Structure 1
Amino acid sequence: MKKLLLSVTACLALIGCSAIPEPLQVTETTVLTDYSEALERGAAAQGEQARWGGVIAAVRNTENGTVIEVVNFPLQSWARPMVSDQSDGRFRAKIDQFVDPVVYKEGRSISFVGEIGAPEEGQIDDYTYLFPTLNVSDMYLWKEIKERPVQVDYSSLWYRHYYFTRPFVYPAPVVIPVGDRQGSDDNG
C-alpha cells in the first residue's frame, strides 16, 4: 500500500512539474523570490532567483543585449501571467541577446526565470520610477489567446410539454460560436 501511495505521489509531482513550460522550470530546491517581495526589499534581494511575468510594455535593443520593460502580473500555477486591471508595477528584464520587437511586441504575455539585479531608476512618461531588474536566464513568450464571439441559445429553456412527462430532464442553454453556423456559405 505504501509503494502505491508513493508511486501515485511521484506521478502527481511529475505531472505538476510538467505543466510549467520547460524553459521556466527550476529545480525543486530552488527558492524563488516573489516580485512584491523583491520590490519591498530592493537591493537586498539582489542575486536571488525569481520567476516573474507580465505583459510587454516596451522592447529596447542595445549593443549589450535587450531590455524588455514588463508590466508585472502574478503568475498562475503553470507560470502564465494572470492579466487583469491591477498590477504591482513594472520591472526590466535584461537579456544577453537580440530580441525582435516585432515578435516580442507590446501587449504580449511573457514569463522569465533569472537572477534579480540591482534596481534601476527610469521614466514612465514624465514619472520617475525605480524598476526592479531581472537578469534573464530563460524566458517564454505565451501564445496569444484568441477570443471568439459567441451567442447563447436559450430556446431549450422555454416551456415544452414533454418536460413534464419525462422525469429529470433538464435542458441547458447551447453556446454557438458566431460565424460557425452549419450549412452557411460565404455567399450569404
Structure 2
Amino acid sequence: MSAIKSIKLIMLVAALSALAGCATVPNSITVAENTKLISFDDVSNDIANIQPDAAISLSSIDGKARWGGKIVSVVNKKDVSEIEVVFFPEDRQGKPKTGLPSTGRFKAIVAGFVDPLVFEKGRLITVVGDVSENVEGIIGEQRYMYPTLEAKGYYMWKETTDVNVEIDSFAFSPFIYGAGFHRGFFNPWYNPWMLQRQRGRARIERFNGHSQGSKVRRTKPASSSVIQSKPRRTTSTLQTRQTDRRPKPQQ
C-alpha cells in the first residue's frame, strides 16, 4: 500500500472514531451543561440507613437525577402514574446498559395517564427528574423501599435485536484495493461484487477501481426457461430468397 493510501486510511479511521465518540443524548432527557446529577447508588445507600419500620421516609438527598432501566410494571392512579423500573447504569447516550449488573429498583412518577401497553414490561426507559420521597412497596413477600423520581422527561428506547449475519462471498467479496472513488461509489475498504438478475440471467458485476468499465461474467439462466434468439440471415439465405422471387419463364 502506498504512503498516500496509508495516510488516507489513517485519516478515515480517525474520523470514524471521532464520530463514534460523539454520543447524542435524546432531547427529552437532556440536561443543562455542568448539571450535577445524583446517582442511583447514592440514594440507595441513603435508603439503607432508614429504620426498617419506616413506611415512608423523605430522602436526605435532593437534586436532579437521570436514571434508566427496564420497565417492570405501570400503575395508573387518579392524577399520576407510577412506573416501576429495574435500574441499569446508562451509557453516554443515556441508554441503560442491560449487560451490567442491576443495583436495585426505582419508581418514576409521571403526571397523567400512561398506557401499560406502550410502557410494557421489558421495555427500556430513561427518566430525568427530581429526587422525591422514597416509597415503600412489596416484592414477593418482602418489603422494598423504592427511590423515586418526579419525572420531568423520559425517553422510551427502540427495541433492537442482535442477530448473526453471514455474507455470501459470491455476492460480496472484501478484496482490499485501498481508499478512493470507484465508479461514483466511495470504496474505502473493499472491492465489492454485486449479484444482479436481469432478464432471467444472473449477472455478477464487479466494481473495478482500476478502469472506467466493469467486468461482467454471465452464468447459466436463473430460471429453467431458455430464451432462444432468432437465427441471423446469412448471405446464402438472402440469395436463395432473391432467386425464388424471380419470375418463372412462361412455357
Q: Same fold (TM over 0.5)?
A: yes
Structure 1 residues 30 and 88: alpha-carbon distance in aligned structure 2, compared to 1, 3 A threshold: same
8 Å contact 2:72–2:84 — kept in the other structure?
Answer: yes
Structure 2 runs not aligned, ≥5 long: 1-17, 48-58, 170-195, 198-251
TM-score, normalised with respect to structure 2: 0.52
Counterpart of 1:84 (choices 99, 104, 107) is 99
Corresponding position of 2:71 = 56
Kindly provide the amino acid, as one letter, of the partner of residue 31 in structure 1.
K
Give 1 or 2 for the bigger CA radius of gyration. 2
Please state if 1:141 is matched with 2:141: no
2:34 is the alignment partner of 1:26: no
Mapping of residues 68-79 of structure 1, within 5 Å: 68-79=83-94
- The Cα of 1:127 is off from its aligned counterpart by 1.6
- Alignment partners' CA distance in 2, 1:130 and 1:153: 54
Pairwise CA distance, 1:120 = 1.1
Matched, 1:110 2:115: no
Secondary structure at the counterpart of residue 150 of structure 1 = coil
Kindly report the root-mean-square deviation, in angstroms, between the aligned alpha carbons of the 2 structures: 2.5
Following TM superposition, by how much is the alpha carbon of 1:149 offset from its aligned partner in structure 2, in angstroms? 4.0
CA shift at 1:29, angstroms? 3.0
Report the AA paired with residue 88 of structure 2. F
Aligned 8 A contact 2:67 2:126 in 1:
yes
Give the partner amino acid of 1:30: T
Q: 1:41 aligns with which of 33, 40, 46?
A: 46
**Matched AA of 2:141:** D
| % identical equivalent positions | 35
How far is 1:146 from its partner? 2.4
> What is the TM-score normalised by the length of structure 1?
0.69
CA deviation profile, 1:75-130 (whole Å, cap 9, x unmatched): 00110000136210000000012111101100000000000011111111112111
Single out whichever of 48-57 and 36-45 deviates more from structure 2.
36-45
What residue identity is the alignment partner of 2:35?
A: T
Contact 2:89 2:97 in 1 (8 A): yes
**Contact 2:29/2:155 (<8 A) preserved:** yes
Aligned residue pairs, count:
143
SS at match of 1:98: coil
Taking CA–CA contacts closer than 8 Å with sequence separation of 6 or more, which of the two structures ends up with the larger relative contact order?
Answer: 1
- How far residue 147 of structure 1 moved from its aligned partner, in angstroms, is 2.5
CA distance in 2, matches of 1:97, 1:54: 21
Does the CA contact (< 8 Å) of 2:81 and 2:109 recur in 1?
yes
| 2:135 pairs with 1:120 | yes
